[in-house]
A = this chain, B = another copy of it.
Amino acid sequence: MRQDLVLNNDKKVIFLILDGVGDIPNPDFSYVTPLQAAKKPNMDDLATRTGILGRIIPVDVGVTPGSGPGHLSLFGYDPFEYEIGRGVLEVLGLNMDLQDGDLAARANFCTIRDGVVVDRRAGRIATEETVRLCAKITAALPQVEGVEVIIRPGKSHRFAVIFRGKGLSDHLTDGDPHKDNKPVLYTTPKDSDAGFASKVVNTFMEKVMDLLQEEKVANGALLRGFSTKPAIPPFASNYGMKALALATYPMYRGIAKVLGMDVKEEPKDYAEMVTMLKNNYEAYQFFFLHIKETDLAGEDGNFVEKVKAIESVDRIIPDIYALNPQVLVITGDHSTPCPLKGHSWHPVPLLLVTRTGERDGLTFHEKNCVAGSVGTLYSKQLMSLVLAHGLKLDKYGA
């Protein structure tokens, strides 16, 4: 996109992202998709009256994206050029405060016998056990080698670590043998700048083993996915829009923060999300509303729940559109087809509600989106089209 063409105006753009909304015809439900089955009069009314349809390919043809690349491309960033590391995504997902220079890692509790990792997941201990062990580590190891250590428990045997201090490179190999019955593996620096970070992480791993040596099951920790906050050009300076993110799940607020969007506290439900949208409508030009339930149902392979999730979202559409945005985008960061019970590579259905479009006159679902006037774009091209419909792109050339 030619950022030199971006114009500043106060016209509002709303992205309503239904995580994993795209699906494929379901053999158990007469070969329709949840978007086809759902009763969504409000979306369909907007779609047929003033909408244009299309599809977006999150990363590349055939490529299944994770949440990081899925959202980066939605916001116009090339997902191969910009990457959010796994450690960073993990700490964001646990609602930890990630700062510039922080070294983030995913971690597992594990079982070690005589220097050998006999169970990388420590028998998948209960979450409460992980909470107890994390508290123990926090109390005993507030810092290592002069570097602050911040840990937070996740589900089951998982937790996340932030090392906060100066000079912490993320050019580290995993401190994890990745297989059971292998010796404990420490991190090694991938280049000379990472020597100190490697020493910090390895000292932490050793001290955790010392601290937990009396534990019967979880007596060690493995760390991996080392990463720091990526250097990504801020959304606001790319597009001339001050942006607000509203999401019930911390990971999506975290991704928004990485892009420099403002993030409000967690809305407790869709209704509160809409209230927060209304209360902040004047102060921003761009709004990212993230809906997780469509993806959860897709991951569970639960067609009925996915239909219900879409119908629930449909009920907040009138309140959103009553705010009179210049552009309302309803789409997903990727597809999560129920028959596949996971993210997929399928192009994602896109509804663009605009005053300046071709008016396709079609209801919103995968099959109609194939026929829509937007055609099939890469997700990273969407922002350019959205800016055009927001009258935020200048003419190129005389």
Partner-B contacts on A (CB < 8 A): 1-2, 5, 24-25, 31, 55, 59-70, 79-80, 83-84, 86, 89-90, 225, 337, 339-340, 343-347, 356-359, 366-367, 370-373, 375-377, 381, 384-389, 393-398
Contact A395 B66, beta carbon cutoff 8 Å? yes
Q: Which 7 residue pairs across A and B have the least CB separation, nearest first?
A: A62-B384, A62-B388, A66-B397, A69-B397, A62-B385, A345-B388, A66-B398
Contact of A83 among B90, B375, B395, B397 (CB under 8 A): B397
Contact B356 A340, beta carbon cutoff 8 Å? yes
**Complex formed: what's the CA distance from A373 to B23 in Å?**
13
Extra inter-chain contacts (13) besides given A24-B356, A79-B396, A343-B395, CB under 8 Å: A62-B387, A62-B393, A66-B397, A67-B397, A69-B396, A69-B397, A337-B356, A339-B356, A344-B356, A345-B388, A345-B393, A347-B375, A370-B372
| Count of chain copies | 2
Note all chain B residues with C-beta closer than 8 A to A373: 347, 366-367, 370
Contact A397 B366, beta carbon cutoff 8 Å? no
- Smallest CB gap from A377: residue in B: B61
Nearest chain B CB to A222 CB, angstrom units: 17
**Complex formed: what's the CA distance from A388 to B69 in Å?**
17
- Smallest CB gap from A225: residue in B: B398
Note all chain B residues with C-beta closer than 8 A to A80: 2
Contact of A381 among B61, B340, B397 (CB under 8 A): B61
Query: Which among A68, A388, A398 has the highest number of chain B CB atoms within 10 Å?
Result: A398
Contact B24 A397, beta carbon cutoff 8 Å? no
- For this complex, 6 residue pairs linking A to B, each with C-beta atoms less than 8 Å apart, are A24-B359, A69-B396, A339-B356, A344-B356, A366-B373, A367-B373
